[in-house]
Amino acid sequence: MSFLSSASPKLAPWKVLLVDDEPDIHDITKLTLTRFRLDGRALSFVHAYSGAEAKQVLARESDIALVFLDVVMEKEDSGLEVARWMREDLDNQFTRIVLRTGQPGQAPEERVIVNYDINDYKEKTELDRTKLFTTTFAALRAYRDIMKVEEARRAQLNYREGLERVIAASAHIFQQRNLKDFAGGLLQQVVALLRLENSMLLRLRGATAISGENDYEILAQIGDDDATMLSADVLAQLDAAKSNKISRLQGDTYIGYFPNSSGKASLLVLKGVDEISEIDAKLLEVFCSGVAIAFDNILLTQEITDTQAELILRLGDVVESRSNEAGNHVRRMSEICHLLACAAGMPDDAAAVLRHAAPMHDIGKIATPDAVLLKPGKLDAAEWEIMKQHPSVGLSILDGSQRPILKAAAVIAHQHHEKFDGSGYPQGLKGHDIHLYARIVAVADVFDALMHKRCYKEAWPIDRVVAHLREVSGHHLDPVYVELLCQNIDQALAINERFPD
Amino acid sequence: MSFLSSASPKLAPWKVLLVDDEPDIHDITKLTLTRFRLDGRALSFVHAYSGAEAKQVLARESDIALVFLDVVMEKEDSGLEVARWMREDLDNQFTRIVLRTGQPGQAPEERVIVNYDINDYKEKTELDRTKLFTTTFAALRAYRDIMKVEEARRAQLNYREGLERVIAASAHIFQQRNLKDFAGGLLQQVVALLRLENSMLLRLRGATAISGENDYEILAQIGDDDATMLSADVLAQLDAAKSNKISRLQGDTYIGYFPNSSGKASLLVLKGVDEISEIDAKLLEVFCSGVAIAFDNILLTQEITDTQAELILRLGDVVESRSNEAGNHVRRMSEICHLLACAAGMPDDAAAVLRHAAPMHDIGKIATPDAVLLKPGKLDAAEWEIMKQHPSVGLSILDGSQRPILKAAAVIAHQHHEKFDGSGYPQGLKGHDIHLYARIVAVADVFDALMHKRCYKEAWPIDRVVAHLREVSGHHLDPVYVELLCQNIDQALAINERFPD
Q: What DSSP letter does each residue of A462-484 carry, written as one string?
A: HHHHHHHHHHHBTTTB-HHHHHH
- Domain B3-150 falls under CATH 3.30.460.80: no
* Mutate: best of B311, B360, B365, B368, partner A, most A CBs <10 A: B311
Chain B: closest CA distance from residue A199 (Å): 24
Across the interface, of A120, A134, A159, the residue whose CB is closest to B160 is A159
pLDDT band at B226 (very low <50, low <70, confident <90, very high): low
- For residue B335, pLDDT over 90 is answered with yes
Q: Cα separation of A311 and A305, whole Å? A: 10
Residue (of A53, A57, A64, A58) closest to A20 by Cα position: A53
Higher pLDDT residue, A152 or B210? A152
Per residue in B81-107, is it b (16+ CB within 10 Å) or e — as a string? Answer: bbbbbbbeeeebeebbbbbbbeebeeb
What is the reported pLDDT for A264?
66
* Per-residue model confidence as pLDDT tens digits over A174-227: 888 777 788 888 778 877 777 776 777 776 664 433 445 567 777 777 776 555
Q: Quick check: B8 contacting A, CB < 8 Å?
A: no
Q: Quick check: B117 contacting A, CB < 8 Å?
A: yes
Q: What DSSP letter does each residue of B78-114 carry, written as one string?
A: HHHHHHHHHHHTS---SSEEEEEES-TTTS-HHHHHH
What is the reported pLDDT for A173?
82
For residue A319, the chain B residues in CB contact (below 8 A) are 366
Please judge whether A113 and B120 are an interchain contact, meaning their C-beta atoms are less than 8 angstroms apart.
no
| Alpha-helix residue ranges (DSSP H) falling in A216-277 | 226-229, 232-244
**Which residue spans within A58-187 are E strands per DSSP?**
66-70, 96-101, 120-123
What is the reported pLDDT for A283?
82
* Per-residue model confidence as pLDDT tens digits over B405-424: 889 999 999 999 999 999 99
Across the interface, of A153, A308, A369, the residue whose CB is closest to B311 is A308
Domain A323-498, CATH class in plain words: mainly alpha
Please judge whether A290 and B167 are an interchain contact, meaning their C-beta atoms are less than 8 angstroms apart.
yes
Helix/strand/coil for A224: coil
Which member of B55, B271, B365, B419 is catalytic?
Answer: B365
- Give every strand in the sheet of A266-271, ordered side by side: A216-222, A198-204, A266-271, A253-258, A248-250
H helix or E strand, kind and range, residue A115: helix A109-115
Chain A: closest CA distance from residue B220 (Å): 22
For CA atoms B98, B103, B109, B113, the dihedral sign is negative
What is the reported pLDDT for B7?
43
For CA atoms A92, A98, A104, A109, the dihedral sign is positive
Chain A: closest CA distance from residue B298 (Å): 10
Please judge whether A289 and B93 are an interchain contact, meaning their C-beta atoms are less than 8 angstroms apart.
no
CATH code reported for the domain at B176-300: 3.30.450.40
What is the reported pLDDT for B166?
85
pLDDT band at B184 (very low <50, low <70, confident <90, very high): confident
For residue B131, the chain A residues in CB contact (below 8 A) are 109
Chain B: closest CA distance from residue A116 (Å): 10
Interface pTM (ipTM) of the complex? 0.72
Residues of B (392-431) whose Cβ lies below 8 Å from A:
397-398, 401, 403-406
**Residues 6+ positions from A160 with CB-CB distance below 8 Å:** B156, B159, B160, B163
Q: Are B119 and B139 in contact (CB under 8 A)?
A: yes
* Helices A129-174 + B278-322 axis angle, to 10: 20
* Mutate: best of A297, A324, A353, A401, partner B, most B CBs <10 A: A297
Architecture label for domain A9-150 = 3-Layer(aba) Sandwich (3.40)
* Per-residue model confidence as pLDDT tens digits over B440-471: 999 999 999 999 987 778 899 999 999 999 99
pLDDT band at B296 (very low <50, low <70, confident <90, very high): confident
Q: Are strands B66-70 and B14-19 parallel, antiparallel or unpaired?
A: parallel
Q: Cα separation of B493 and B501, whole Å? A: 13
What is the reported pLDDT for B161?
87
Q: Quick check: A324 contacting B, CB < 8 Å?
A: no
Residue-averaged pLDDT of chain B: 86
Q: Quick check: A1 contacting B, CB < 8 Å?
A: no
Calculate mean pLDDT across residues B73-81: 94
* Mutate: best of B38, B160, B312, partner A, most A CBs <10 A: B160
B162-166, B193-197, B337-341, B443-447: lowest mean pLDDT where? B193-197
A365 as an active site residue: the answer is: yes
Q: Cα separation of A460 and A352, whole Å? A: 30
Cis peptide before B426 (omega within 30 of 0): yes
What is the reported pLDDT for B3?
40
Q: Quick check: A278 contacting B, CB < 8 Å?
A: no
Which member of A148, A365, A419, A430 is catalytic?
Answer: A365
Q: Which regions of chain A are under pLDDT 50?
A: 1-8, 206-211
H helix or E strand, kind and range, residue A129: helix A129-174
Cis peptide before A426 (omega within 30 of 0): yes
Q: Quick check: A319 contacting B, CB < 8 Å?
A: yes
Please judge whether A369 and B370 are an interchain contact, meaning their C-beta atoms are less than 8 angstroms apart.
yes
* Per-residue model confidence as pLDDT tens digits over B255-266: 888 776 656 677
Helix/strand/coil for A219: strand
Chain B: closest CA distance from residue A170 (Å): 9
Q: Hey, where are the domains in chain B?
A: 3-150, 176-300, 323-498
Q: Quick check: A180 contacting B, CB < 8 Å?
A: no
